[in-house]
Structure 1
Amino acid sequence: MSKRTRRRVRGWGSVVGAIAVLWLATHWASVWPVLLTGLAVAVAVAVAGWAGWGLWRVHRSAMSLDRAWREQEEAKARELSMAQVDALSWQEFETYVAELCRRDGCTGVVVSGGSGDLGADVIGYFADGRKLVIQCKKYAPHRSVPSQDMQKFVGTARLEHGADVALFVTTCRAFTKAAMGLALRQDIVAVHRDLLGAWVKGAHLESLIQLNGSGGSGS
């Protein structure tokens, strides 16, 4: 841009600025209320935003506390129901698991546990015809299901019994890491104490299958 052009631009800028100042001076009485209104609106929006953010933080904190409380209460309810399961003998436990299967719509459910059962304590069929084979282990809550138990069930659930869905159900809190890893690799549904407690409290068998591997971390 040449010097002459720059001078023209500065000149026109000065003219426009002078016109703007003159216009404001002559219309200040009408402009000032508009500016005040705009400022008030901006302040109101800022205050509302700050208040909304504060309320959202309080709401989120309350929801978090409520969720934690509900989880604690659900855990307590599961343990109360599991106390009755803990009082069962291992034979009664197998019969009880069979009853849960019938409750959730399984048919042809039989308890076959005993000497020579080859890991099939309960056998039944889903409504769609899939064969269900369950291994039941009545262990103390503090124990973990070892890899050896899972290996035996893996070796018979499908090859020997033709299971479409295979469940390993236990009253203890966890499977060892090796046992859980084997279950996941071989598509065995590992139902530890927490999942069993949910089943006892009314969760459907199909939902437990979807949760395979959840919770009950291996030891």
Structure 2
Amino acid sequence: MSRTARRRATRLHLSLTGWTLTLFAIYVCARTWPIQTASTAIALALAGTVTVRRSSRARRIRGRGRFPIALPARLVRRIPRTRAPRATDLADYLALDPADFEHAIARLALRDPHVRSATPQGGSDDRGLDVLVRLHGGRRILIQCKRYGPRNRVTSEDVQKTNGTYRDIHGCDLAVIVTTSGYTRSAFQTNTMLARPLLLVDGQALMAWTAGGPPPWA
């Protein structure tokens, strides 16, 4: 018999001897302490089953490449919502909801290297402030966003309301109204009467800005 064969035979003999002694010990324990032995055997069997199931589940999860544990609600709330797609024409802007339109205008403002921040702040009680722009030089600019259809134009009353809030209420140095539509003749006339006229951006000017043109305050 070769040396390798003798080693295999020795390992097999030791293994059989070990299993024989183990089974004999279990038999003695079962005869001496039958209840305790049965309880221990059941506990070991349950532990083995749980371990096998967890191992199998972990392998399936790794294969699918996803995390199995549901995120707590406090963490889910912190996940930002998906951004609206960038608009390339007026139809894209009109397809946005009011909040997304304000975010789109804020992103446009951030393209100006002179802008330090552009924060959407619109809401039911925004008092004319939809986007607050801060320049590196310290100036604050109020932007009022009007996502209107082609037949709905910004009126003189809108100009008056924005003019009445951007300085005294919001402490801004300049006000801009951005619309996807246009302005009534009365709105233009009212704006020219102001000591510090607002910057009125219509749909055509908005598309020029979107295409890479300068911001209204440049």
Name the TM-score, length of structure 1 as normaliser: 0.55
- Tell me the secondary structure at the aligned position of residue 132 of structure 1: strand
Unpaired runs of 5+ in structure 2? 1-86
8 A Cα contact 1:140 1:171, kept in partner:
yes
8 A Cα contact 1:81 1:201, kept in partner:
no
Once the two structures are superposed, residues 72-121 of structure 1 have per-residue CA deviations (whole angstroms, 9 ceiling, x without a partner) of xxxxxxx9622211211111100100011111131232111002110000
The answer to whether 1:142 aligns with 2:142 is: no
Given the alignment, which residue of 194, 197, 200 partners 2:210? Answer: 200
- Separation in structure 1 between the aligned mates of residue 150 and residue 89 of structure 2, nearest angstrom: 13
Unpaired runs of 5+ in structure 1? 1-78, 211-219
Given the alignment, which residue of 68, 87, 97 partners 1:89? Answer: 97
The higher radius of gyration belongs to 2
- Separation in structure 1 between the aligned mates of residue 162 and residue 132 of structure 2, nearest angstrom: 13
- Separation in structure 1 between the aligned mates of residue 157 and residue 91 of structure 2, nearest angstrom: 27
1:176 deviation in Å? 1.0
List aligned pairs for 1:61-100, cutoff 5 A: 81-100=89-108
- Separation in structure 2 between the aligned mates of residue 158 and residue 135 of structure 1, nearest angstrom: 13
* Aligned pairs, number: 129
8 A Cα contact 2:93 2:147, kept in partner:
no
- Tell me the secondary structure at the aligned position of residue 162 of structure 2: helix
List aligned pairs for 1:1-219, cutoff 5 A: 81-105=89-113, 106-172=115-181, 174-186=182-194, 187-205=197-215, 208-209=216-217
1:167 deviation in Å? 0.2
Matched-pair identity in %: 36
Structure 1 window deviating more from structure 2 (104-113 vs 92-101): it is: 104-113
- Separation in structure 2 between the aligned mates of residue 81 and residue 170 of structure 1, nearest angstrom: 13
Greater fraction of residues in helix: 1
1:124 deviation in Å? 1.5
Equivalent residue number for residue 66 of structure 1: none
1:123 deviation in Å? 0.3
- Separation in structure 2 between the aligned mates of residue 114 and residue 155 of structure 1, nearest angstrom: 18
Q: Which runs of 4+ in 1 moved over 6 A?
A: none
Query: What amino acid does structure 1 have at the position aligned with 2:208?
Result: A
- Separation in structure 1 between the aligned mates of residue 88 and residue 109 of structure 2, nearest angstrom: 21
Once the two structures are superposed, residues 171-197 of structure 1 have per-residue CA deviations (whole angstroms, 9 ceiling, x without a partner) of 10x211121122233310000111011
**Are the structure 2 counterparts of residues 80 and 95 from structure 1 closer, same or farther at C-alpha, using a change threshold of 3 Å?**
closer
- Tell me the secondary structure at the aligned position of residue 175 of structure 1: coil
1:158 deviation in Å? 1.2
- Separation in structure 1 between the aligned mates of residue 88 and residue 105 of structure 2, nearest angstrom: 17
- Tell me the secondary structure at the aligned position of residue 144 of structure 1: coil
Name the TM-score, length of structure 2 as normaliser: 0.55
